[in-house]
Structure 1
Amino acid sequence: MSRDDLKATFFAECEDLLDQLSEGTGELEAGTATEETVHAIFRAVHSIKGAAGAFALDTLVKFAHRFETVLDRLRSGSLVLDPDALQTILRSGDMLAELVELAQAESDEEPSQMAELIDLLVGLSGSEEDGPGAPEPDEAFEFTAVSFMPLSFDEPGEDAEDVYKIRVPAIADLFRNGHDPFLLFAELVGLGQLDVSCDASALPVSDEFDPNRCYLSWELTLTGSMTEVSIRDAFVFLDDICEIEQVSGGSAGPVLDLPGIETEDSPMTIAEPSNPSMPQVAAEEAAAEPAAATSSTSEPAAAEKSKAAKPAASIPQTTLRVDPERVDRLINTVGELIINQAVITQKLVASGMASNSDIMSDLDDYQYLARELQEGVMAIRAQPVKPLFQRMQRIVREAAYSLGKDVALVTEGEATEIDKTLVERLAEPLTHMIRNAVDHGIEGPEKRAAAGKPAQGTIKLSAAHCSGDVLIEISDDGAGLNRKRILEKAVSQGMVAADAKMADSEIDNLLFMAGFSTAEKVTNLSGRGVGMDVVKTAITSLGGRISISSRQGMGTKFSIALPLTLAVMDGMVIHAAGETLVAPLSSVVETIRPKPKDILPFGRDGRLLSIRGTYVPIVNLARLLGFPTEAEITSDNILILIRSEQSGLVALAVDDISDQRQVVIKSLEGNYGAIEGISAATILGDGRIALIIDTDAILSLAGHYGREMASREEMDYAQTATMG
């Protein structure tokens, strides 16, 4: 495996470790943390630090070392988690995630808040050795690459009391797996005095020597005031191989395999904090000290009894990492299979094959299996939105801290699964919306107090499956949209006429206009007029829709509806002016064969559909898309009722509906170019290409078309009046 492959594996594993870190810090913040939670957080940071050192990611290692020191004090009980310490740990977790992202992008940039956080971590570490100017772990001692004499690593400071023997056997694949004994042993230097003895007796003296194989074994003697837990954490990468034995100090125990340590999973004691919104973890009493735990395992009988009393550990769920390109190729192949099934069906129907024949029955089975295969392949690409939502926690904390606000993010539906591509492409628009909610939505502490609201604002982020779509909602309990101010800003920026009469929904949609902003000054979060228009563009490019609802003084909610997948969708095959089109089934409310009395004139060329006591505008789809047609809207047309978040119900007039089927989405932009009102294309069973309409874009075009017709009527009226 090449170094690049190892590095890619490291960053993939970092995603899992950062998820564990985020879950653990979330439990700390919620006050539900246990001892094991703190150990899990420490292990995640420790693992990232250890592996990052192998790739010389110095900035990441430097920060992780400071963070790890504080976490070590927390788990040992020497640090009480007051609100300030909790806030520092939460922000440090966010910073570590940002540093991993920068390292993956091969950026040398150092975040602006990193120096401040390091100072805070140094203050919490409670040790002069970790103060400014202290050497980093890789600078604390020198290392000779191959040595056959015992090495001694002296760490000045505390008196040594305990002595541990650590045996590292010869592991053939140690180097192949990216391990470096120097980095592993370096982790022990901070614990006390380390003596290392290397056994090279297994080195071959013939041509059989393999430079990629490890023939060396080591015996380490560690003297100092440390716990067995801290030693095992240093060897987390070799947890099933190395052995540890305490030979003096406390009570000596038998040789233990590294994974043998067990921790109690009892909830941590939570003290009442000065700030009710922040939990505080109190230090454990002397009864829970590690020495007592070590003593309890000193006798084999007690160890066997303890082992028998504990239930067997559950088998961890295994995962398989697959290159996304391979999955994409498989999805494309399944798409071609679905197209092939449609072609065969079309040809058999054209040949006059009876629908109850054996071949048609077999074809139905083929269609069923093709759909099952497609859904199975899509499930491979599906992943929960939890990592995305956890990233938004970081955005909320950063924005709230910079603005001096107290904001909490509440998430629901984290297990909702959507296409991995959707998850990746949703990160930027969600970031914009979350920052806007903190900046514009949530009021400052004084305003919230004056309005009788709690000092801490709440942003809710939820995801759920709804009618074949994924519905993501971002809501806040802030002041709501100030529509009067929005309209005044739009008028001052020349986006709408000064005498324009607009409904609330139309004013809300002004937020999505390019360049629009209500911020009084430019900040790191807002004011540049780039944000909500980018959000809408990103959502519509994914085939989704976005809408706003707001109540003055009560808050604002943004709703995003997205397709479950970007590769295949259910569509309705329609015909207009001799052209074949596909309408997304998720946008279709119903189809109507109108009676003459149901179609009413509106203006000179407009038509309205009277349906169940309400009136819906009718749009001639062929004329709107520029197809050559002189046909008027009559009762001979079929009307497709579609719903838009911005325009409500609209009826599309088409000539015919021929089928409802699953279609494979093919991008137009990469092969042809963007077409207004068209989102993509597909291949039908007879080999023809059909365009897939973008219902939101169609309705936007219909609005422009309606305004043009109204302007033309006004001009005609003015000319008639002049001639008269």
Structure 2
Amino acid sequence: MSDDLDDIQAIFFEECAEGLATAEAGLSAMADGDVSAGVIAGVFRAVHSIKGGAGAFGHAALTAFSHRFENVLDEVRAGRIAPTPGVTRVMLTAFDVLADHVAAAQGTSPLPADAAVAAALDQVLADRGVAEAAPVPAAPAPAPVAVVEDDPFGFEPVTASVEPFDPFGFEPVTVTLDLLDDARPVVADAPLPWTVTFVPSDAALANGGEPMLIVRELEMLGGTITGVDLSRLPSLRDLEPEHAYLGWTISVPGTVEESAIGECFDFVAPESIVDIVREISSDMASTGVPVVPPVAVAPVPAPVPVPVALAEVPTLIATPIAAAPVPPMPVAVAPVAPPPPVRPAPVRVDEAEVQRTHEVAAQTIRVDLTKLDMLLNLVGELVIRGSILADRLSPKDQERVELPQLSRLTREIQDTVMSLRAQPIKQAFSRVPRMLRDLSAETGKQVTLETTGETTEVDKGVIEKIGDPLTHMIRNAVDHGIESPEKRLAAGKPAQGTIKLSAEQKGARIFVRVADDGGGIDRARVRAKAVEKGIVAPDAVLTDEEIDQLICAPGFSTAETISNISGRGVGMDVVRSNVEALGGRVEIASTPGKGTTFTMVLPLTLAILEGMIVRLAGQRFVLPLANVIETVQPEPGQVRPTTTTGEVIELRGNYLPVRRLTRTFGFADNDARTPEESLVIIVESETAGHVGLMVDTIDDRREVVIKSLDQNLHPIRGLGGATILGDGSIALILDIEALVGPSAPLNRYPQKGLAA
């Protein structure tokens, strides 16, 4: 039973993560000015769900804080508190504390100190908002003259408050009266409690409901059980375990909003009875005099005075106030009409609507990601076994055992599993607006964010691992890229900088870009810092691309002082190491005075790709088929040298650059092979366009399972991983973009190739 509870609680924390993401996106939208009802309702529902689940699992601190937070959101949702920037700032701070409470409930962090934020939330409720600017204090008014006289008939004293007036300006004199009518409404000192009657339906337990969870949630609001209805309880012989027989009467403090009580019954079972009414005091019950509960009213301007001649109130002022004649005095009297008592009808749930909801919910199911990983690994093993059969069987035998059909079914299974793991990259982008807002406030820089491609789907494992790189790239763009408003204006730019965050899929790769319109990379300063830190030799000859890549070196930073944003030299190093661990790479393009673009090139899937098996100096490599355009057998003179290391191929009147992969990987003994004895594979890349790769031969076309080099060896630029071929041998998978890009490795392994 304990294991089942742990499993259910794990699902609750997954829902918390989804709710926090929804709440953060909504609050960020509110901070940007979108205060539509749908956005506010989305934040409210997210916090309400977290509160309900926390109460069910006994996380008292999380429940208490989320309830406070929910109270403010409920008032904002109802329009009783305006979602001003001040209120939104308080709620954003409360969100941070709520996330810390969720982490504390999971046991991954200590319990946060929430007293200050809780007090701020209470203050928002009390003041019905947050003052955006301190009001100008008014000049102190003269103290009013109070005249108190005992009534000769034994009634309570009458108090008249008279404010001095300007005899030349004829300002009115305001008299505040205490009514002496004995039949006036009685104002209670505190709101009367609520009486909640809850009778769950017979089928509540059978439908998966738990009435006691609702009762406990009401108790968390301060409610107490005042009665239990046992009239439906049968004899022990007729007792059905899946039936609900009890009903409860619960008294809830009057300070609790009725909407907060009603929300406890959001998921109540069909045909349940819920009755929420104000209690009636014994005095009122006996006299029949209506009770007017006190209402919290925001400060309003003074009411327009109603002129009343002094002669009309002779019994109110027994002695003259001043010798001078007194002009007519206005009297401000606010008559209170007692509202008729309203008894809400019992809340009954539409059974058909609940059934439709259950049908929709039944179409989805939560699956642990490790189970999907296991399934994906099994599909990979199935692909390997298919390769083994393809190597060992003749084409005729392959047709006889329907191996092509088996390969097709395997591919469909793999695509289905990958679609289960695919998630929109918006999950990784959702935290950027809030982070950018905080960075702008901390640096004093004005930055706006533009996002595109948020619906691009990426493997779940990729999304989880690009969070840190994305954070460091955004921080770097704000701190080092975007200039201060003064510098931007002096350079003829708008004071507000722009960061563009985008994602797109091209072939088997995902390109995530962070581009700013700042000052670009100061390459002279970067080089000087690299020399100072001993990263490069003083006499080293570096291209612009190589200097740009220096900012990703461990411990490198151009910040003069260490701050909360940068200065420790761990930012871009984390970006490159994390991205390369995924089998991707980081590209940097910068134009002085124009800005810088960081691109994370990530694999679309971490599992299976369709590749071409090629040979280099007797070793087999896998070239991703998604990049291949065509294959050319060069004729004499078709491949021509341009420099000592560069060659081009003439193809239909165009000249394309050619790279000898034997030279790239250091197979020097095979470098004397002529182009006519080789094959040139024309591939397409994002950064270099069409490029020819010279290989020895092509062996086969095959689906291969990608194995990470980071887990089994270490990342190597130009290689995207490894795979196991049908004969059990290992082949390395080529990374086309890294091989043909501007900073592609040339003669990186000059002595003994990859073995070195």
Short-chain TM bin: 0.7 to 0.9
Matching residue of 1:577: 617
Matching residue of 2:178: none
Once residues 447 and 231 of structure 2 are traced to their aligned partners in structure 1, the CA distance between those partners, rounded to angstroms, is 62
Which of the two has greater helix per residue? 1
Q: Which runs of 5+ in 1 are unaligned?
A: 129-155, 251-290, 305-311, 710-724
Once residues 296 and 552 of structure 1 are traced to their aligned partners in structure 2, the CA distance between those partners, rounded to angstroms, is 72
SS at structure 1 position matched to 2:260: helix
Shift of 1:449: 4.6
Once residues 203 and 59 of structure 1 are traced to their aligned partners in structure 2, the CA distance between those partners, rounded to angstroms, is 36
Once residues 590 and 47 of structure 1 are traced to their aligned partners in structure 2, the CA distance between those partners, rounded to angstroms, is 55
C-alpha RMSD over aligned residues? 4.5
- Asked if residue 126 in structure 1 is aligned to residue 156 in structure 2, the reply is no
Shift of 1:567: 0.6
- Asked if residue 663 in structure 1 is aligned to residue 704 in structure 2, the reply is yes
What is the letter of the counterpart of residue 386 of structure 2?
A: Q
Per-residue displacement from partner, 1:59-95 (whole Å, max 9, x unpaired)? 5345424422322332233322222222332343344
Determine which of 400, 407, 412 is the counterpart of 2:440: 400
Matching residue of 1:483: 523
Per-residue displacement from partner, 1:4-37 (whole Å, max 9, x unpaired)? 2232011011123223323432442344443354
**Pairwise mapping of residues 179-578 of structure 1 onto structure 2 (< 5 A)?**
180=213, 183-189=216-222, 196-199=226-229, 216-222=246-252, 224=254, 228-238=258-268, 240=270, 242-247=272-277, 316=360, 318-348=363-393, 351=394, 353=396, 359=400, 362-451=402-491, 453=493, 455-498=495-538, 502-578=542-618
SS at structure 2 position matched to 1:484: helix
**Pairwise mapping of residues 104-183 of structure 1 onto structure 2 (< 5 A)?**
104-108=106-110, 110=112, 117-126=117-126, 159-160=190-191, 163-169=194-200, 171-172=204-205, 180=213, 183=216
SS at structure 1 position matched to 2:637: helix
Per-residue displacement from partner, 1:440-495 (whole Å, max 9, x unpaired)? 22333444454555555433322222223222222233333333332332333333
**Pairwise mapping of residues 38-117 of structure 1 onto structure 2 (< 5 A)?**
38-108=40-110, 110=112, 117=117
What is the letter of the counterpart of residue 82 of structure 1?
A: T
Shift of 1:424: 0.9
Matching residue of 1:150: none
Once residues 500 and 738 of structure 2 are traced to their aligned partners in structure 1, the CA distance between those partners, rounded to angstroms, is 29
What is the letter of the counterpart of residue 233 of structure 1?
A: E
Please give the TM-score of this superposition, normalised by the length of structure 2: 0.70
Q: Report the CA distance shift for 1:157/1:543 in structure 2 as closer, same or farther (over 3 A).
A: farther
Shift of 1:214: 7.6
Q: When the two structures are aligned, how many residues end up with a matched partner? A: 623
C-alpha contact (below 8 Å) 1:163/1:223 kept by paired residues = yes
Determine which of 4, 7, 15 is the counterpart of 2:6: 4
Once residues 181 and 106 of structure 1 are traced to their aligned partners in structure 2, the CA distance between those partners, rounded to angstroms, is 28
Once residues 186 and 658 of structure 1 are traced to their aligned partners in structure 2, the CA distance between those partners, rounded to angstroms, is 73
Q: Report the CA distance shift for 1:36/1:22 in structure 2 as closer, same or farther (over 3 A).
A: same
SS at structure 2 position matched to 1:479: coil
Select the structure of larger CA radius of gyration: 2
Once residues 316 and 8 of structure 1 are traced to their aligned partners in structure 2, the CA distance between those partners, rounded to angstroms, is 22
SS at structure 2 position matched to 1:238: coil
Shift of 1:184: 0.7
**Pairwise mapping of residues 549-628 of structure 1 onto structure 2 (< 5 A)?**
549-588=589-628, 591-600=631-640, 606-611=645-650, 616=657, 618-621=659-662, 624=665
Shift of 1:504: 3.4
Per-residue displacement from partner, 1:516-556 (whole Å, max 9, x unpaired)? 21211112221111121221222222222332233334432
C-alpha contact (below 8 Å) 2:581/2:715 kept by paired residues = no
Once residues 451 and 64 of structure 2 are traced to their aligned partners in structure 1, the CA distance between those partners, rounded to angstroms, is 32
Once residues 496 and 611 of structure 2 are traced to their aligned partners in structure 1, the CA distance between those partners, rounded to angstroms, is 45
Q: Report the CA distance shift for 1:36/1:227 in structure 2 as closer, same or farther (over 3 A).
A: farther
Per-residue displacement from partner, 1:639-670 (whole Å, max 9, x unpaired)? 34557778887654321012233211234555
Once residues 410 and 179 of structure 1 are traced to their aligned partners in structure 2, the CA distance between those partners, rounded to angstroms, is 48
Q: Percent same amino acid at aligned positions?
A: 38
Once residues 557 and 211 of structure 2 are traced to their aligned partners in structure 1, the CA distance between those partners, rounded to angstroms, is 51
C-alpha contact (below 8 Å) 2:209/2:269 kept by paired residues = no
Q: Which runs of 5+ in 2 are unaligned?
A: 129-186, 281-337, 350-355, 752-756
Matching residue of 1:654: 695
Once residues 454 and 121 of structure 1 are traced to their aligned partners in structure 2, the CA distance between those partners, rounded to angstroms, is 37
Shift of 1:247: 4.7
C-alpha contact (below 8 Å) 1:679/1:694 kept by paired residues = yes
Once residues 345 and 548 of structure 1 are traced to their aligned partners in structure 2, the CA distance between those partners, rounded to angstroms, is 42
Please give the TM-score of this superposition, normalised by the length of structure 1: 0.73
Shift of 1:375: 0.8
Report the more deviating stretch, 93-102 or 331-340. Answer: 93-102
Once residues 500 and 545 of structure 1 are traced to their aligned partners in structure 2, the CA distance between those partners, rounded to angstroms, is 24
Once residues 648 and 514 of structure 1 are traced to their aligned partners in structure 2, the CA distance between those partners, rounded to angstroms, is 31
SS at structure 2 position matched to 1:635: helix
Shift of 1:592: 3.8
Q: Report the CA distance shift for 1:618/1:413 in structure 2 as closer, same or farther (over 3 A).
A: closer
Q: Report the CA distance shift for 1:645/1:507 in structure 2 as closer, same or farther (over 3 A).
A: farther
SS at structure 2 position matched to 1:393: helix
C-alpha contact (below 8 Å) 2:196/2:275 kept by paired residues = yes
- Asked if residue 705 in structure 1 is aligned to residue 747 in structure 2, the reply is yes
C-alpha contact (below 8 Å) 1:174/1:213 kept by paired residues = no
Once residues 675 and 487 of structure 1 are traced to their aligned partners in structure 2, the CA distance between those partners, rounded to angstroms, is 24
Matching residue of 2:333: none
What is the letter of the counterpart of residue 579 of structure 1?
A: Q
Once residues 224 and 106 of structure 1 are traced to their aligned partners in structure 2, the CA distance between those partners, rounded to angstroms, is 37
SS at structure 2 position matched to 1:224: coil
Matching residue of 2:335: none
C-alpha contact (below 8 Å) 2:221/2:256 kept by paired residues = no
C-alpha contact (below 8 Å) 2:556/2:569 kept by paired residues = yes
Q: Report the CA distance shift for 1:678/1:459 in structure 2 as closer, same or farther (over 3 A).
A: closer
Shift of 1:297: 9.2
Per-residue displacement from partner, 1:225-280 (whole Å, max 9, x unpaired)? 76543321233453756533355699xxxxxxxxxxxxxxxxxxxxxxxxxxxxxx
What is the letter of the counterpart of residue 7 of structure 1?
A: Q
Q: Report the CA distance shift for 1:229/1:391 in structure 2 as closer, same or farther (over 3 A).
A: same
What is the letter of the counterpart of residue 654 of structure 1?
A: V
Q: Report the CA distance shift for 1:166/1:459 in structure 2 as closer, same or farther (over 3 A).
A: farther
C-alpha contact (below 8 Å) 2:517/2:596 kept by paired residues = yes
